[in-house]
A and B are shown apart, each in its own frame.
Chain A
Amino acid sequence: MAEFLQQLINGISLGSVYALVALGYTMVYGIVRLINFAHGDVYMVGAFAGYFAIKTFKLPFFAALVAAMAVCAILGVIMERIAYKPLRNAPRVAALMTAVGLSMFYQNFTIYRIGAQPKAFPKIAQVNWQFAGVTVSNSQVLILGTAIALMIILHFVVQHTKMGKAMRAVSQDRDAAMLMGINVDNTISFTFAIGSALAAAGGVLVGQYYGVVQPLMGALPGLKAFVAAVLGGIGIIPGAMIGGLILGVAEAGVSAVGFSTYRDAVAFGILILILIVKPAGILGKNVREKV
């Protein structure tokens, strides 16, 4: 029982990071129908930004977190303006290939500038709390707390601000939103900024949790975060959170019963199952093509 609870806690902290990254995927997909394959690498860039903020600029952890989010928000906007905006009306596979190209670029440029070797991320002083045979570390609490706080902020922004309303409108119908006087370009940029900032937060939190950052760290978590987004229902913000948590707990569970080498397959196994049973995801509505 204690073992189960322990894995549940590990799973939830891992899952909340997936959820943070998944939010960016889901928001971008919701608004421009693009699987932004470079999103996982934005998460990596965010982790490195946090690393340099602490190491080079000697910022305290939370300041570094905010700095990394700001850097990635700007990066997200630049990325959208240069690489995706010109392709909005092109065949969708072209935008997808561009996303893959960007992903390759981030990874290899980081390797070129910083090196492929993992870097030790400065950890905050470790504190463990024990109760009922379960260990909870302060970095787990930090991850969960930060993730929840960011999600609450996001929820507020999307539901209660003018920009949030514009985002929802553009994701419903871009042309209609434009006719209503919404600046679609700015709205899309804003979405990329928020999504990238959340990914950066995820990167810094994970860097802090595992104590290492490296250029390819975003590839697999990026894919899994995407799985989380699809699982919850792509384009649906609460869906990304649910999907992330389910995925994190499932992975921790599989590791716990001794199949840790199959961990990566689990995420995709769940993905395929959900796609076959309910393609629109847990919270999604099935839509059918109008004939």
Chain B
Amino acid sequence: MPILETKQLIKTFGGLTAVSEFDIYLNKGELIGLIGPNGAGKTTAFNMLTGVYQPTSGQINFLDESVVGKYPYEITQKGIARTFQNIRLFKDLSVIDNVKIAYHQNVNYSVLDSILQTRKYRQEEKEITEKALEFLKIFKLDHKSQEYAKNLPYGEQRRLEIARALATKPKLVLLDEPAAGMNPQETQELLGLIKWIREYFDLTILLIEHDMSLVMNVCERIYVLDYGKIIAHGTPQEIKINPRVIEAYLGEEVPVC
């Protein structure tokens, strides 16, 4: 039983078709790659899955329930979290506040509780702070909890963005080119982190990359998107020798590692 399934997902902007024939499924606990050349429509697909864009037509089912037409915040509350290609941290807020904001949906105290600073408010705020700190510890960011997010080095900003996404307690995480702008060593560390969070948080992960070589080692299955269409699907081994994939990537510098 797939945790996420899309059927004939289409997105057009004016007359331009950005994504068509986007059919994928993810089983619980899988780590799946979505690859494709630049401009293939990968991020557009992500935006539809998370409600940032409304699909022109098609179905998205998450945990046997359609999420088409839902607001992004509702989809997050259902259990899909994401990161962004260009990091979208709350730059002028502290590291810990970035994580605390992700806890918002689990807060039970009301506005009135906060104004009157009731017991309930103080209790919950204390818990949130403690939980956020613990969480940062897992991602080795606790010693920087009071720094502005914008002052973190690039790699740590990526890590914080992943931590923040996971703090919403998702079942499925969509990572949009998390290795963009990283050097090979940082990339290796990141892949290690991704494998580890999948185990630790019991997650299903969909990973966008435009560099194929990166996903070959970690993903169980890979979807290849080109000109808005899924042109191939299979294990890394199958993808490597798929002629359509090779054709799509012809001209790209490193087809296979």
Residues of A within 8 A of B53 (CB): 291
Smallest Cβ-Cβ distance to A285: which chain B residue: B14
A-B pairs, top 4 by smallest CB distance, nearest first, are A291-B52, A291-B47, A291-B84, A291-B43
How far, in whole Å, are A291 and B43 apart by their CA atoms in the complex? 8
Smallest Cβ-Cβ distance to B47: which chain A residue: A291
How far, in whole Å, are A291 and B47 apart by their CA atoms in the complex? 8
The count of residues in chain B whose C-beta lies closer than 8 Å to any C-beta of chain A is 5
Can you list 5 A-B pairs, Cβ within 8 angstroms, ordered by A?
A: A291-B43, A291-B47, A291-B52, A291-B53, A291-B84
The count of residues in chain A whose C-beta lies closer than 8 Å to any C-beta of chain B is 1
Say how far B89's CB is from chain A's closest CB, in angstroms. 15
Residues of A within 8 A of B52 (CB): 291
How far, in whole Å, are A122 and B227 apart by their CA atoms in the complex? 68
How far, in whole Å, are A291 and B174 apart by their CA atoms in the complex? 14
Say how far B51's CB is from chain A's closest CB, in angstroms. 11
How far, in whole Å, are A251 and B1 apart by their CA atoms in the complex? 63
How far, in whole Å, are A75 and B53 apart by their CA atoms in the complex? 46
Residues of A within 8 A of B84 (CB): 291
Residues of B within 8 A of A291 (CB): 43, 47, 52-53, 84
How far, in whole Å, are A211 and B78 apart by their CA atoms in the complex? 67
Say how far B83's CB is from chain A's closest CB, in angstroms. 12
Smallest Cβ-Cβ distance to B85: which chain A residue: A291
How far, in whole Å, are A291 and B52 apart by their CA atoms in the complex? 8
How far, in whole Å, are A291 and B86 apart by their CA atoms in the complex? 8
Say how far A193's CB is from chain B's closest CB, in angstroms. 36
Smallest Cβ-Cβ distance to B88: which chain A residue: A291
Within 8 A of B (CB), among A135-166: none
The contact string, 1 if C-beta is below 8 Å from chain A, for chain B 75-97, is 00000000010000000000000
Within 8 A of A (CB), among B32-50: 43, 47
How far, in whole Å, are A165 and B53 apart by their CA atoms in the complex? 35
Smallest Cβ-Cβ distance to B52: which chain A residue: A291
Say how far B41's CB is from chain A's closest CB, in angstroms. 13
Within 8 A of B (CB), among A253-291: 291
Say how far A257's CB is from chain B's closest CB, in angstroms. 40
Smallest Cβ-Cβ distance to B46: which chain A residue: A291
Say how far A191's CB is from chain B's closest CB, in angstroms. 30
Within 8 A of A (CB), among B41-75: 43, 47, 52-53
Smallest Cβ-Cβ distance to A289: which chain B residue: B52
